[in-house]
Amino acid sequence: MIHLQQVSFGYDGREILSAVEAEIAAGSFHFLTGPSGAGKTTLLKLLYLEALPQGGKLSLFGEDPVTAGSDARMQLRRRIGIVFQDFRLLDHLSVAENVTLPLIVHGRDPAKNAGDVADLIRWVGLSHRADAPPRALSAGEKQRAAIARAVITSPDLIIADEPTGNVDAEMGMRILRLLVELNRLGKTVLIATHDLGLIRSARSMVTARILRLADGRLTAGGAEL
């Protein structure tokens, strides 16, 4: 599903990622870990196509996003659900509207998917908050709303950037369980985290692999937990 060959990327002449090699198979569950500043977020940006590699080759769903046109890149993005550490929910929309947004953006009829939206909001435990604006939610509720938004269009790949970074341990476990459940449904899941407790907790739930970044280089390229 994802192949990285000698991928490199930098800002302002400073190399953030250097000769990254990795392979993520469809249906797998990966943790991307490493200290702060190791390049985790940059690597994720390359994977969800907010940035493009400056060197090496990235293959996503069998396509090279660097040579693909903007329309093809947009189609690739539609196969990826992203959960951000800072949620990135739109404050002027309710939870239900935020979850519905990807359907509208993808040109799908929200009315025909109203049942899915309601089920999904219930699944993440936010039925009672469906009409609330994000500012009225706790951090854990916001993250669960963000997960619902990320998966409403049933993407093939779910990328979560520090999804438990702003929540307590109990809520972190709840969010991890949601992501594990999505993996059991066949979704490929990649979680960037420096929370080793979270990674240890995942051992009993799922067969996960580790990608470890240090100073812009992968020091563990997919070892099992």
Partner 1 sequence: MSEGTPQPVASTPQPLPQRLRLVPGGGWGAALATLAAAGMAFLAMLSLVAGLAAADLAATWQRDLQGSATVRLSAPDATSLDRVMDVLRRTDGVAAARALAAEDQAALLAPWLGEGAALSDLPIPQLIDVTLAGAGPDVDRLAAALEAASPGTVYDDHGAWRGPLLEAAAAIRNLAVAAVALIAGAAAGITALAARASLAGNAEIVRVVRLIGGRDSFIVRAFVRPLVWRTGLGAGAGAILGAVVLAALPKAGAALGLTIAPGLGSLFSFAAAVAGAGAIIGWAAAQLAVRAALRELP
Query: From the list 6, 35, 50, 200, which residue makes contact with partner 1 (rule: CB under 8 A)?
Result: 50
Q: Are 71 and 65 within 8 A, CB to CB?
A: no
Among 3-11, 69-77, 168-176, 191-199, the segment contacting partner 1 (CB under 8 A): 69-77
Query: From the list 54, 181, 194, 217, which residue makes contact with partner 1 (rule: CB under 8 A)?
Result: 181
SS (H, E, C) 63-131: ECCCCCCHHHHHHHHCCEEEECCCCCCCCCCCHHHHHHHHHHHCCCCCHHHHHHHHHHHHHCCCHHHCC
Residue 217, class by beta-carbon neighbours within 10 Å (0-12 exposed, 13-18 middle, 19+ buried)?
middle
Query: From the list 114, 136, 169, 196, which residue makes contact with partner 1 (rule: CB under 8 A)?
Result: 114
Binding mask 117-156 for partner 1 (x = CB under 8 A): xxxx-xx------x------------------x-xxxx--
Check binding of 26 to partner 1 (CB under 8 A): no
CB 27 → partner 1: shortest distance, Å?
Answer: 13
In DSSP terms, 5 is beta-bridged to: 57
For 28, the 3-state DSSP assignment is: coil
Binding residues (CB under 8 A) for partner 1: these are 48, 50, 71, 74-75, 77-78, 82, 88, 90, 92-93, 96-97, 100-102, 104-106, 109-111, 113-120, 122-123, 130, 149, 151-154, 181-182, 184-186
